[in-house]
Amino acid sequence: METNSFDAIVVGSGMSGGWAAKELTEKGLKTLVLERGRMVKHGEYPTATKNPWDLPYGNRITQETRKHKYVWSRTGYPTPANEHWMIDDLENPFVEEAPFDWMRGHHVGGRSIMWARQSYRFGPLDMEANGKEGVGVPWPVTYDEIAPWYDKAEIFAGISGSADGLYQLPDGKYLPPHDLNCVETDFKRRLDDKLGRKLIIGRCANLTAPLTHNESPQRGTCQARNLCIRGCPYGGYFSSVSATLPSAERTGNMTLLADQIVYELIYDNDRGKATGVRVLDAKTGNQTDYFAKIVFLCASALGSAYIMLNSTSARFPNGFGNDSGELGHNIMDHNKPGSSNASVEGYLDVAYTGRRPNGFYIPRYRNVGKDKRNYLRGFGYQGRAARAGYARFNDSAAIGEDLKKEFQEPGPWNISMTAFGEILPYHDNHCRIDRDKKDKYGLPLLVVNAIVRDNERKMEEDMKNDAAEMLTAAGFKDVKVRSDSYNVGNSIHEMGTARMGADPKKSVLNKFNQVHACKNVFVTDGSFMPSSGCQNPSLTYMAFTARAADHAVSELKKGNL
């Protein structure tokens, strides 16, 4: 029992688990981090330095991969260069009552290794909307309360960006921004002149300059190799394995165990506290209990919901902390029903120099200020302009000298962009556990049922029409707006299963991410989000995790936990 006891347990080692581990260990807590997937240490990225010709099948996946990674495959993400970060869906089944693109990475670092690093703050517009509109529950935290924690997360992670002075997208503490290229710069000007809409360079977690601190000295600046999803040996982008976990390790206070599936919280009814977690070893099937004063659930929005729903007791017959009946409900993601592109004439004297692991961002402008639509909330676009690559020769009729000559020039410019919109928190969008269906470990399966509804469909009209309007107004040609078939989960921003709120009757967590009904359990992944904004959410998980850890340690010191 002695060796199984710690001050804190963190479940999951991805984006939020890494932050919890760093903050808790730096504050002196002996912390056990439990990760259900395999061990990965910074630098252990098997394909990171492989050349295109070193990758099998021209870097295209096989039918076998398609079969095993069927959820991932329907989104087009896996390639031989990155598929080792994507779980085998056959081995990790769940029940899709409605199709749900649940894209999981089970390994140390979680999806922080694979993310596209876009990092935007939620602002007052996002955090006040639920309260003003009577949707879901109001955020119990104001923007001013979380702003200093955003500062902390941005400085440590190393987010690059520009200060743009937009109310709907507050500025942060940034490393120098990447540059917009010539086409994007002209697009920006024309959008502003003709439609009064702003275009900015993406804010992203790639180091455009050395960090301003030495808390994670193993990181070098980004070399713009654009191979980030494979893992970056330079530590050029923020991930748990390049930044937070090494910082936690340096304290000497972290024990990190891989291949450990947490399936239940242990609850002491007499003390009204969680005393630890119950774990299955993924390799041996052995069961172990680990004990701690506080538990941080950071297993991702559906992963943490699963553990809580599976933790039933006399006190919590419907799932851990589920007095409100909201646990597992209000699943959100981002509305992403298509993309648009156009060809760009001219600019052929400008070579497309270098690569840039970033693109442009058009921040939300709908339902901002005087703009009022027939739906709630809004959307932003992420995109880039680039010169066509050599794939264009697939269709070329040229041979011999002509082909060689054509090869010497990059192709014409084109521009593409995708809208990400807010999805409202609907109680009916939910997950639950089916105890009659089991996985290979004998654990019951998660059932997921989430769809887009009227508000998102109305928004979709604007997303498409506005894209066409903007690309046309900029003078681009062959404007195409594509409607993609799309399932919730496809934006990989799942949120909301254990929302925070001031009223315990309507929410699962309080304003410090503590379970209302059991204060020594904190949930700091996307589960806590009361609304989804339209910004990529991971930076918000980092900020709230750091704040929750600070609160946890101070409450622990006061003897309140």
Ligand X SMILES: Cc1cc2nc3c(=O)[nH]c(=O)nc-3n(C[C@H](O)[C@H](O)[C@H](O)COP(=O)(O)OP(=O)(O)OC[C@H]3O[C@@H](n4cnc5c(N)ncnc54)[C@H](O)[C@@H]3O)c2cc1C
Here the tokens at position 5 are 């006891």
Q: Identify residues 30-69 at the interface with ligand X (CB under 6 A).
A: 34-37
CB nearer to ligand SF4: pick between 166 and 224? 224
User: Minimum Å distance from CB 435 to ligand SF4?
Assistant: 43
User: Minimum Å distance from CB 203 to ligand SF4?
Assistant: 15
CA atoms within 13 A on the CB side of 356: 22
CB nearer to ligand X: pick between 115 and 352? 115
Nearest in space to 246 (alpha carbons), one of 84, 13, 554:
13
Degrees (nearest 5) of the Cα angle 21, 27, 31? 40
- Report the distance separating Cα 128 and Cα 233, nearest Å: 40
Q: What is the 3-state secondary structure (H, E, C) of 279-293?
A: EEECCCCCEEEEEEE
- Report the distance separating Cα 70 and Cα 73, nearest Å: 5
Binding mask 205-224 for ligand SF4 (x = CB under 6 A): -x---------------xxx
226 binds ligand SF4 (CB under 6 A): yes
User: Minimum Å distance from CB 522 to ligand X?
Assistant: 13
- Report the distance separating Cα 22 and Cα 239, nearest Å: 12
Q: Which of 25, 130, 507, 536 binds ligand X (CB under 6 A)?
A: 536
Return the residue matching tokens 């760009």: 344
Binding mask 480-509 for ligand X (x = CB under 6 A): ------------xx----------------
CA 244 to chain centroid: 16
Q: Which of 117, 121, 230, 519 binds ligand X (CB under 6 A)?
A: 117
DSSP 84-112: GGS--TTTS--EESS-B------BTTGGG
CA atoms within 13 A on the CB side of 363: 25
227 binds ligand SF4 (CB under 6 A): yes
User: Minimum Å distance from CB 117 to ligand SF4?
Assistant: 8
Of ligand X, ligand SF4, none, which one sits near residue 305, judging by CB under 5 to 8 A according to partner kind? Answer: none
Q: Identify residues 241-260 at the interface with ligand SF4 (CB under 6 A).
A: none
User: Minimum Å distance from CB 351 to ligand SF4?
Assistant: 19
User: Minimum Å distance from CB 299 to ligand X?
Assistant: 4
Strands 413-422 and 334-335 turn out to be antiparallel
Dihedral-angle region of residue 59 (phi above 0 means left; psi in -120 to 50 means alpha; beta otherwise):
left
Residues that bind ligand X (CB under 6 A): 11-17, 34-37, 77, 103, 105-106, 110-112, 114-118, 261-262, 298-300, 303, 307, 492-493, 525-526, 536-538, 541
Residues that bind ligand SF4 (CB under 6 A): 206, 222-228, 232, 234, 236-237, 357
